[in-house]
Structure 1
Amino acid sequence: MIEKRLLQLVVAIACLVPLSVGGTSILHGPHFLGHPPVVPTDLDSHFRYISGIFFGVGLAFVSCIPGIEHKGARFRLLGALVVCGGLARVVSLIAVGPPSAGHVFGFAMELGAVPLLMLWQASFARRYRP
């Protein structure tokens, strides 16, 4: 039971990233990243749209916390979405160069922490089965 609570706690803490960054980005747009006060309307719209998806993924991960041992399929789907986003950052890295420190943190979450949490959840769920 201690491992379940620890896994739930770590997932809850990890959810703070998409909820806080996504929410702030929805409210403030690209200005949140220190961009000029005026950005093209389409860029602002797209940025806020993607931020809304990011926020929604955070909410969906939160829904996995209760009964986390039974939420493997949802957890894997959400994790796969996050990993796809991290792989898209690899394309950006190759095309235009390294991002700022905040995005490097995101990269580490997307291609490091989330896959590790997916493995932990799967391992725990296998061991939890009666």
Structure 2
Amino acid sequence: MSPGAEKRALQITAGLACLVPLSMGVASVIIGPSILSGIDDPPPRDLDSHFRYLSGIFLMVGIAFATCVPGIERKTARFRLLGAMIVLGGLARAVSVMEYGLPSDGHRFGLVMELGVVPLLMIWQSRVARRFGSE
């Protein structure tokens, strides 16, 4: 695959991956903790506040990742920092798995994204950056 074609494939893949934090961030800010399965009653105010705060951060991470898509071969430092944030979040989620067991399907999908897809995207971005002499 030519460097240009590989870069374009990475841009498309990264752009699609951004849809997860963008859509879930917006939905979680608007809907709050009741977006999670099993939460029917109004949550405690502090839980609601913290959940929406973290959802806002998650939304901003999605926006920040989206800013990496144009010129992705030159955004290595930003891409790595954002990726490291997601991986660390996935590791924190893994602590919950060890303590309480597997979460619902949506959160399992999150684990796959956080500990599988994002690290692979980070490796791929690094490869593209090297091929363009930008790393």
TM-score range, shorter chain: over 0.9
Partner of 1:80: 84
2:14 corresponds, among 2, 11, 33, to 11
**How many angstroms apart in 2 are the aligned matches of 1:26 and 1:90?**
23
Query: How many Å apart are 1:9 and its aligned residue?
Result: 0.4
Q: Which runs of 4+ in 1 moved over 4 A?
A: none
**How many angstroms apart in 2 are the aligned matches of 1:63 and 1:3?**
18
- Deviations, residues 41-99 of structure 1 (Å, cap 9, x unaligned): 00001110110110000000000011100000000000000000000011101111110
**How many angstroms apart in 1 are the aligned matches of 2:53 and 2:84?**
19
Q: How many residues align?
A: 130
Which runs of structure 2 are paired with 1:99-114 in the superposition (5 Å)? 99-114=103-118
Partner of 2:50: 46
**How many angstroms apart in 1 are the aligned matches of 2:94 and 2:53?**
21
**How many angstroms apart in 1 are the aligned matches of 2:26 and 2:48?**
14
- Give the partner amino acid of 1:26: V
Percent same amino acid at aligned positions? 59
- Deviations, residues 8-59 of structure 1 (Å, cap 9, x unaligned): 0000000000000011000000111131131100000111011011000000
The answer to whether structure 1 residue 60 and structure 2 residue 64 are counterparts is yes
RMSD: 1.0
Give the TM-score normalised by structure 2: 0.94
